[in-house]
Chain A
Amino acid sequence: MQNDLFSLCRPYPVVSLVGLSKSAGKTTVLKHLIHAYKRYTKSNAQALPPLAVTSVGQGGVFPEIRIYKGMYAATAAGVLRDCDFTRRIVHTTGISTPLGEVIVAEALSDGRVSLAGPSVNSQLGELCRYMRAEIGAGQILVDGSGDRRTFAQASGGVILCAGAALNRDINAVAAECAHICRLMNLPLEAECREDAVIRRISGALTDEILGEITDCADIKITAVIAADMSKIFVKSAVLDRFLHRGGKIYVNKPADLIAAALNPTAPGLGYAFDRAEFLAAVRDRVSVPVFDVEEHETVYG
């Protein structure tokens, strides 16, 4: 992974990492970004505002990473005890998780941290606002869950992580990447044509609902508006059918996709993709920069 990913992320106050499956490489990307931040601060006289890290909706498996002196971590009190960086407690958030309240701590030394942040996305916003405003965090890296619902609500840039573990078929993984990228690039409601026949979806847009809308003989609905991409659960084929009939899908809230990061290995599953082939397959189908997570594996941690 080149340093470009770090540069691409720099404009975003919050960067969320979301994975399409297990072993998608989220943690590797997180480590890379932390390390890149550290290297950048070392080689630039002008200090960057502090970096903060947290996670959301992990449900039991918490990424373990190394953070550096001067950084901040927001994690549950129950796992903070087992972290080995010397720390200053700066805030108790009132956000409770099965492992205790989420605590914000400043690292007074380097060390290992398990990230057990808020359980649900809705609490993440408050936490990020606090870290930005009160701590002056320049950027917050959020290790998101594999759950699609995390995607768009992340209120910042998103790095989509996809790994070979999703499917043995390299094209299937690339197609899924492309589909998610397409959902993240849906136009905003404001761009909707005035003469469109609109159906507003307040909850989830599922295959069934979109299928019905597509096949509806009485009225030809030409525009479907959903809250954001986290509410859209349609398969590629169903979406294609709707689009081919002249339909369009709009969202209220944009999702900002920064890049896609790929993990060609599938740990524990006994196979791996060819690195170059995987990169090429995804690059062919998506419009954002695509990186290989393993190119920077030498990072300590």
Chain B
Amino acid sequence: MKRFTDKQLRTVGAAYALNKLTPVTPYGRDAARHIAPFLKAQAGALAIELENVERAAFSGADNSAFTRILPKFRDIRGSVKKLTGEEGKALGEVELFEVKSFLLALSELAEAYARFNGSAGLTGIGIAPMEDALLVLDPERTRLRSFYVNEKYSEKLRIIREKKLIIDAGLNAVNNAETLKELERERLKIVAEEEEEELAVRTALTFRLATHKMDFDVNIDALARLDLTLAKASLAREYGCVKASITENTIMLKDVYSPEADAALKERGGRVTPVSLSLAPGTAVLTGANMGGKSVALKTVALNCYLFQCGFLVFAAEAGLPLFDNIDFIFDDEQSVYSGLSSFGAEMSNVNALLERALNGFSLIILDEPARGTNPREGRAIAAGLAACLNGLSSISILSTHYDNVAKEEYNCYMAAGLKKELLAALESDKKRLSPEMIPGLMDYRLIKAQPADSVPNDALGICKLLGVCPSLLNLVEKFL
């Protein structure tokens, strides 16, 4: 499966969730930027990833050491790339310092990770200390983070530096201008010699480090995975996510929600209503009132299916999810008018493309009110036809609609519960002023299993009243019903 585009990520609220990931190292941050769904053929790897995230999040293993150690890692990939083993390549002193810092941090991390993993039991991520490489840069085994081109590496360098110190002492003591000049000249010479010998030493060190290049690469890779796994785990802990079991071809989501929708509602003092649903290959039809949460529910399904396949725990109380070859969705708000097509035209050509993909793989297809942008007679026919067509595929499809008679016995039918009519009636009989702010309180956002017959609720007029649509208009509307 392909990665979602940035726009797709935003549409379903995945961008919000991904932004909540806070890896610490440059390697982990890079890995987070490149998060992509596992392919269907990689179910085994996904299972390991999910297991790792769950264990890191909920095994209770003490991960406090990582908070201290991980920030010590800086990006040394540029320097590692130079470790080709070719003659004449030398890392600079600052690079060698960074490499040494990396190796010291790696030793610490390996130890902390081993302790952590004793109880967490992550698999497939191995951090191996590189003591031999460290010894190259820390010949005296001081384990100090600082680095300098040590005289221990070269007797010649030691002699040069000794001379330099003597000259410096002379410069500080002598007052005679002639002698000073002479010393300056000598010092220039000795500084040049020192530089030359330091270069020779750095070249030799670089050559010796090059024999460990593979270990650098492997460890950097493992470090990126560990950092990302820990970040996913901390997200899962924060939201109380669960690990979905991997199913063959069905979706089971219990009390699933979107953290972005929840955050938006929290700002207004509410909470998101989690929804539950079970889907199998074929068509599911979702009906319900306007503003009743249909689109949010559909996006929530797409979001969690996508994140699951990217190795995240899901925002639900319980879940069983399959791996898809495609997750395709069309929401009214993410359609753009492009290549001269109207929104209807764009929608239909997208439908065409996703049908083709579904013929060649296992898709999750989500259509939010398909064919809403054309005349109701044909629109209804298109929606009904689509439902029938998708029901014949082995993919899982959900479409939401306001059209009557799209839902059929053979489909899986859901309804957004909609307006709490008794509450609305009570308010009306009390002559309470109605206002749009009352909608969340009067709306039941749960999804309920429905029969095709009762599947299209008539809540539009109730919503109009709440929105404060002028009564004389409403009177006229009722005449036409």
Contact = CB atoms under 8 A, between A and B. Distances in A.
**What interface size band does chain B fall in?**
20 to 34
Nearest to B198: A86
Contact of B168 (A89, A92, A94, A109): A109
Interface residues of A, number: 21
A87 interface: yes
A292 interface: no
Given A109-B165, A110-B168, A89 B97 contact: yes
Contacts of B168: 69, 109-111
A111 B188 CA distance: 11
B171 interface: yes
Nearest to A100: B94
B74 A89 contact: no
A90 B96 CA distance: 11
B94 A77 contact: yes
Interface stretch (B53-61, B140-148, B375-383, B387-395): B140-148
Interface string B90-113: 001110111001000000000000
Given A88-B147, A92-B74, A80 B94 contact: yes
Contacts of B74: 92, 94
B159 interface: no
A75 to B, nearest CB: 11
B156 to A, nearest CB: 14
B339 interface: no
Nearest to B173: A300
Nearest to B97: A89
Contact of B172 (A80, A84, A90, A110): A110
A91 B146 CA distance: 7
Interface in B54-98: 74, 92-94, 96-98
B97 A86 contact: no
A78 to B, nearest CB: 10
Nearest to A101: B94
Contact of B98 (A90, A92, A106): A92
B148 A109 contact: no
B165 A90 contact: no
Interface string B413-445: 000000000000000000000000000000000
Interface in A40-64: none
B146 A92 contact: no
A89 B147 contact: yes
Given A110-B171, A110-B172, A88 B148 contact: yes
A134 to B, nearest CB: 10
Nearest to A66: B171
Contacts of A221: none
B164 interface: yes
Contacts of A84: 187, 191
A103 B172 CA distance: 27
A81 B145 CA distance: 20
B459 interface: no
A89 B93 CA distance: 7
Interface string B140-171: 00000111100000000000010011001001
B72 to A, nearest CB: 11
A243 B209 CA distance: 68
B148 A89 contact: yes
Contacts of B187: 84
A108 interface: yes
B161 A86 contact: yes
A84 B191 CA distance: 7
A89 B148 CA distance: 6
Contact of A300 (B94, B145, B171): B171
Interface of B: 74, 92-94, 96-98, 101, 145-148, 161, 164-165, 168, 171-172, 180, 187, 191, 194
Interface of A: 69, 77, 80-81, 84, 86-92, 94, 101, 103, 106, 108-111, 300
